[in-house]
Structure 1
Amino acid sequence: MPEMPEVAGLVDFLRRKLVPEDGPPAVVADVEVLSFSVLKTAKVPVEALLGLEVTAVERWGKFIAVQVGEHYLVMHLARAGWLRWSDAFKPGRLRPGKGVIALRVRFTTADPADAGPSAEGAAANHGFDLTEAGTKKSLAVYVVENLAEVPGVARLGPDALELDRKAFGDIIAGHRGQIKGLLRDQSIIAGIGNAYSDEILHASRLSPFTLVTSLDDEQVTGLYVSMQELLRFAVETAAGRPANELKDAKRRNMRVHGRTGESCPVCADTVREVSFADSSLQYCPTCQTGA
């Protein structure tokens, strides 16, 4: 699942493609909805985006928001979604319901009057696909006039990288439950998912099952520092990379997440896994539980 660093990398990549500093902004030429379940809004039709310039690309938690004219194209990649860029799409439109592509957006830098499905030549053959593998379809796309119309954006807590130590401490003091769940709850802290919560807890030497109410001040500080350092490093690693390199860059930097059965790079104990109905977590028993 893409989390803050990968989404930040995608936003940086799209910003350079769609609103370059040294050239004209991209204009939406065509939007193809290939999986009708992906589109979660109906008030603003996707056709309303055609012919409009892209004015900004921003990240909100794990959401990507592309501002197109006075509208927003908002995307959440969920568990198995991804964004795939192409500099040279083949001519013609795709058939709905075939393959993993859920949405295709084509752009042009030509006169907006030339935009549309019939736009000719290389000027309108670049853009991105949103893809989703697997049978559980959670990829979500919204076309809205205001970001607050996207329920997930409206519920977001403060961004993890915008918290100072005091604000983080106040959040910890105001919640109960296990620390793993708190770090993943987007309404409490935005941007962290399953993978980076595993990594942050490993760096902090805290069990994922630690109760928030049991943390002392020193542990809260250690958790905060680990969160900031790990996420900032991951964001810096993702910056400037093409979209097709972000997944591999993320995997290479994981110390425990996704490494069940491998040796912990800190103590050489075997990384363990706990599985749930629809997810799993990884941790080092020596570093994090003292077992």
Structure 2
Amino acid sequence: MPESPEVQALVEQLDEQLAGCPVRSVDLVEFRALKTRGRSLSVVEGRTITGAHRFGKFVDLALDGGHLVISLGRHGWVRWIDEADGRVEASEPDAVAPALASLTVDGGTLEFTDAGSWVSLGLWVVDRPSEVPGIAKLGPDPLAPGFSRADVDRSVARRRKQLKAILQDQQSFAGIGNAYSDEILHRARLSPVVHGDTLTDDELERLFFAMRDELSEAVRARRGVPIDALKQAKTAAMTVHGRGGETCPVCGGTIEDFAFGGTVAQYCPTCQSEGASAAASDGGAPGGVA
């Protein structure tokens, strides 16, 4: 699933490539992807793209009249087909993922793809991005300049909810998903299943710095990476996520898998939970090692 660092790198490239381009034509292949039933995707035709922006995991293509907002969902992404030579800028599996919608501008076609078995891509044609329900409910963004320790305290400190679930809740924090929540918690040396209301002041401080630094470093690392290579760059950069059974580069222990929210996550028991297994924890264990 694309998360805020990759989406930020994506919108910066789209802004550079598409700003000032009029939309020559649109094509909606999968009608279920369009969430604004009262407004056809065709109203975008003829309008000029004025810029690209990010709201959490959402991509906003600003137009000279309104906005086209895209949620990439779990399996969505974009690919560029160059008009001059027909070259497709995408890598497997994105190169073969079906395009559910597309915009043609001067120079080529931007396709919105979905590689999943169900439609997770979403499109909204709106006057303002805040009209999209998911954007209207977004919590503070750890990549925003004003993100502070107070934001962490408000979203975490009194929550009797597992910490990993809080990080992935878009109403608590914007832009974090399964992968970066694993990386943030490993960096902060906190158990993924501890409840937010059990964290000490020191642990909350570590969480704040881990969120801010992990995501901002990831954005800097993704800038300039071609769109078709962004997801692979994300996977290659992970310290614990997707590395179950491998050696933790910090402590030398073994990274473990555990089931979480219908998917699989990873953590280091030695670094994050004093050797205790997350699968056996009731969520009330210590937040991490000091």
Normalising by the residue count of structure 1, what TM-score does the alignment of the two structures yield? 0.86
**Using the alignment, how far apart are the partners of 2:172 and 2:97 within structure 1?**
36
Residues 233-244 of structure 1: pairs in structure 2 closer than 5 A: 233-244=217-228
2:26 to 22, 31, 53: 31
Paired residue type of 1:107: V
Q: In structure 2, what is the equivalent of residue 150 of structure 1?
A: 132
**Using the alignment, how far apart are the partners of 2:261 and 2:236 within structure 1?**
26
Paired residue type of 1:149: E
SS of corresponding position for 2:204:
helix
**Using the alignment, how far apart are the partners of 2:97 and 2:7 within structure 1?**
23
Give 1:168 deviation, angstroms: 2.0
**Using the alignment, how far apart are the partners of 2:81 and 2:255 within structure 1?**
38
Q: In structure 1, what is the equivalent of residue 265 of structure 2?
A: 281
SS of corresponding position for 1:42:
coil
Paired residue type of 1:232: S
Q: In structure 1, what is the equivalent of residue 274 of structure 2?
A: 290
Residues 101-140 of structure 1: pairs in structure 2 closer than 5 A: 101-108=99-106, 123=107, 126-140=108-122
2:57 to 43, 54, 62: 62
Q: In structure 1, what is the equivalent of residue 211 of structure 2?
A: 227
Per-residue CA distance 1:22-54 (angstroms, 9 max, x = gap): xxx111011111111111112222121111111
Conserved? CA contact 1:44–1:145, under 8 Å: no
Give 1:155 deviation, angstroms: 1.0
Conserved? CA contact 2:158–2:196, under 8 Å: no
Give 1:206 deviation, angstroms: 0.7
Is residue 248 of structure 2 the alignment partner of residue 264 of structure 1? Answer: yes
**Using the alignment, how far apart are the partners of 1:40 and 1:151 within structure 2?**
11
Aligned alpha-carbon RMSD (Å):
1.7
Per-residue CA distance 1:158-182 (angstroms, 9 max, x = gap): 1122311223223323422111111
Gaps of 5+ in 1: 20-24, 91-97, 109-122
Per-residue CA distance 1:183-226 (angstroms, 9 max, x = gap): 11101111111100000000111110011111001111011111
**Using the alignment, how far apart are the partners of 1:17 and 1:260 within structure 2?**
38
Q: In structure 2, what is the equivalent of residue 83 of structure 1?
A: 78
Conserved? CA contact 1:56–1:66, under 8 Å: yes
**Using the alignment, how far apart are the partners of 2:99 and 2:262 within structure 1?**
23
**Using the alignment, how far apart are the partners of 1:171 and 1:209 within structure 2?**
16
**Using the alignment, how far apart are the partners of 1:283 and 1:99 within structure 2?**
31
Is residue 186 of structure 2 the alignment partner of residue 196 of structure 1? Answer: no
Is residue 163 of structure 2 the alignment partner of residue 165 of structure 1? Answer: no
**Using the alignment, how far apart are the partners of 1:166 and 1:143 within structure 2?**
34
Q: In structure 2, what is the equivalent of residue 10 of structure 1?
A: 10
Conserved? CA contact 2:7–2:58, under 8 Å: yes
2:234 to 242, 247, 250: 250
Identity of aligned residues (%): 40
Q: In structure 2, what is the equivalent of residue 118 of structure 1?
A: none
Conserved? CA contact 1:49–1:69, under 8 Å: no
Which fold has the larger relative contact order, with Cα–Cα distance below 8 Å and residues 6 or more apart in sequence? 1
Deviates more, 1:222-231 or 1:161-170: 161-170
Give 1:3 deviation, angstroms: 0.2
Give 1:99 deviation, angstroms: 6.0
**Using the alignment, how far apart are the partners of 2:269 and 2:184 within structure 1?**
15
Distance 1:197 1:161, change over 3 A: same
Conserved? CA contact 1:43–1:144, under 8 Å: no
